[in-house]
Amino acid sequence: MASALAFPGVALITGAAADVLIRTTGIGRAIASAFAREGCMKIVIADLTESTLKEAHSEIEAKFPNVQVLSCVVDVSSPGDVQNLLDQAIEKFGRVDYAVNAAGILGASKRSHEMSVEEFDKVLQVDYRGCWLSSREELKHMVQQEPLPSYDGRPGNRGAIVNIASQLGIVARPTAPSYCGSKAAVIHMTKADAIDVSTFIFLTISGSRIQFLVIHIMSVSFEVFVSDRYSFALVNCVCPGLIGTAMVMDNLEYFKPAIGISPMKRYGTVEEVADCVLFLCSSKATFVQGAAFVVDGGYTIN
């Protein structure tokens, strides 16, 4: 029987604690709180900085005392750390249904010829490699687990992954070659993973489940029709624009030109980004696959 909750499964969010000192955004923290507010009762939060992670954990527990929270200190650029995170989540809750990979850093504001290799690598290690390592481990579990029934009778999913990219993965800005490049990579990694998880088709024959692949030979695709109620894991990404985090608000004069370019003439809120993420994890987005949702007030279209 389907749960009456919009999010009856387990949510996992990396980058769930804001830390201005290392130039993270705070979007992950807002997403974790949004899941709790919308009725998700089992939440895993992960970040690198233990002190701010504890703050995020305590904040969720104080506002939503019925929610079970597991917090894990994780370096997303470490394969061992990421694997341990998923192992802990599965051990405590049995599965992961909604995974949001929000860990990321901005890095140094320098042009390529002014930037050291170490500065360049630091951003890619977290923003691209970290996102890929997280998504890889999440998918390993999702493709194996049974679909989670939805609360509204729609087809359930084996899981939903939302990677946090950026509007700067679509358009560039000065002095951000590593950040722009890493976020563009996240967008296309998302699309590639979405294709790959969608090519697994399960067909029940005489009570046995047999796994097939959609085979592409000489540009001809031979597909097996199963059912419009068959469920995949979903992989999408969200591309936030200028969002009113503490870091932005502390440097508002610097960011005013970017606000002026946006047709809506304002910065967004972390809650507006979280709303888009939760939509992509919900049963209302069961036919959305490999999409890059831009949440930027129209910045990239102007």
Contacts of 46 (CB under 8 A, 6+ apart): 12, 13, 14, 15, 16, 53, 71, 72, 73, 74, 76, 85, 103
Structure tokens at 28: 């992950």
Query: What element of type H or E holds 274?
Result: helix 270-281
Q: How far apart are CA 143 and CA 200, in angstroms?
A: 9
Q: How far apart are CA 211 and CA 243, in angstroms?
A: 43
Q: Shortest CA distance to 183 belongs to which of 129, 140, 134, 235? A: 129
Q: Which residue among 98, 128, 179, 299 is the active-site one?
A: 179
Number of C-beta neighbours around residue 117 at 10 A: 7
Has 230 been annotated as catalytic? no
Residue 42 amino acid letter: K
Query: What residues act catalytically?
Result: 179
